[in-house]
Amino acid sequence: MASKPLQGVRILDLTRLLPGPVATLHLADLGADVIKIEDHGAGDYARTMGDGPEGVSVFYRAVNRNKRGLRLDLKNPEGAALFRRLAAEADVVIESFRPGVMDKLGVGYEALRSLNPRLVFCAITGYGQSGPLALAAGHDLNYIGYAGILDQIGVDGGQPAIPNLQIGDLLGGAMSAVMGTLAALFDARRSGQGRFVDVSMSDAALAHNLFPLFALQGGAGVAERGRDMLSGGDAGYGVYATADGRYMAVAPLERKFWDLFCDTLGKPRWKARHGASGAEARAMRAELETLFVSQPQSYWTEKFARVDCCVTPVLTVAEALAHPHFQARGMGFQADGITQYGPPVRLSDMPAEPVRPAPAPGEHGQAILAEFGVTAEEWQRLQNLGVV
């Protein structure tokens, strides 16, 4: 059986909380040796954000599996020197400090690439390394607010709705970092030259806010919240309440699906209303609301179970994990005392291996540093100085 595709790639991970750790989670799952480096203070405070076995949160355990742990004080000159020693042999450094912090510590990109020209250095920030907002603080809500995404989320006449999927953090910070790191790593292996990967969570969110961009350049302009075709303007794409307070996701957008949808409901006269807009769409939506609220979700789920027209139940997370499809795909499994999600990308011939639990602070420190030539005596000296 083939090895994992990133086997042999060594990553120094200085990130914490959500975007960076999820990026390195995906890279670790693909076989990279991810060394999670934390300070001697709070370290990654995701550990205490929420409940979990033995006082370590589910949050921390789930996004830091398959990594090894090292403690290192980068503010100590000896700690910075040791980090440079590690970076000289590493393939990738991933960090999520504000711009300039790594330079001040003496471990920025320019300092490290002079030691290791093939090094890929990925910096994840809210607003990027340049621009008026580069040094501003922010969270996911701020990033999607600036990117014009939050303005479009919600129902007609309502205020913007806060999504519980962190679009800026995950689409922007995590997945863009994975993409940029892999692209730069590929080129480094080919050319011998690494790159600085500037990941801006707000940039990445904006770059994927596509339909409002398309509409902005059309005659009608961007629709108000809840009135775009996919957010309420088309009755054939929406969420409809059922009699038991649950919901159905109804999305027969294409004509072939709409016709089948109408036939299944015994409403052939509705076929002519496909793609209706404006007042006609609102009238169609009102009729669909009346129809769907007349029966419980289980009724509609069963009715459309064998009809291929994009009508499905809205599930809770627990129901999704228990669903036969995700069960068959192995998307939920038990490891490190919690339920975890399976990797989102499946590669052929990739061996399944036991999951390494998320590391305790500095758990693998001595073993890691021994791989970089640090002797037992040097380890003890560094420990006494509070460097590791």
Model pLDDT, residue 112: 98
**pLDDT tens per residue, range 16-35:** 999 999 999 999 999 999 99
* Sequence-ordered list of residues with C-beta below 8 angstroms from that of 374, at least 6 positions apart, any chain: 82, 366, 382
Please give the Cα distance from 272 to 96 (Å, whole number): 53
Which parts of 137-254 fold into alpha helices (H)? 140-146, 176-191, 201-207, 210-216
Catalytic residue check, 91: no
Catalytic residue among 139, 208, 323, 364: 139
Q: What is the total residue count of the chain?
A: 388
The string of pLDDT tens digits covering residues 256-289 is 999 999 999 999 999 999 999 999 999 999 999 9
219: its two tokens: 């005659």
Q: In this predicted structure, what is the pLDDT of residue 220?
A: 87
Q: Identify the three-state secondary structure at position 111.
A: helix
Q: What is the pLDDT of residue 90?
A: 98
The arithmetic mean of pLDDT across residues 363-385, rounded, is 97
Task: State residue 1's pLDDT score.
Answer: 60
Is 139 in the active site?
Answer: yes
Confidence check: pLDDT of 318 > 70: yes
- List pLDDT tens digits, range 306-317: 999 999 999 999
pLDDT of residue 22: 98
How many of the other CB atoms lie within 10 Å of CB of 92?
26
Q: Give residue-wise pLDDT tens across range 149-201.
A: 999 999 999 999 999 999 999 999 999 999 999 999 999 999 999 999 999 99
CA terminus-to-terminus distance, the chain? 38
Q: List the catalytic residue out of 73, 91, 140, 169.
A: 169
- 85-116, pLDDT tens digit by residue? 999 999 999 999 999 999 999 999 999 999 99
Taking residues 50-56, report their average pLDDT: 96
> Pairing relation of β-strands 247-250 and 67-71?
unpaired
pLDDT band at 351 (very low <50, low <70, confident <90, very high): confident
Residue 172 exposed, middle or buried by CB count within 10 Å (0-12, 13-18, 19+):
buried
Structure tokens at 236: 């054939």
Helices (H) and strands (E) in the chain, counts: 16, 11
Beta bridge partners of 197: 122
Q: Can you tell me the mean pLDDT for 134-158?
A: 97
Could you tell me where the beta strands, DSSP code E, fall in the chain? 10-13, 33-38, 67-71, 92-95, 120-125, 196-200, 238-241, 247-250, 311-313, 332-335, 338-341
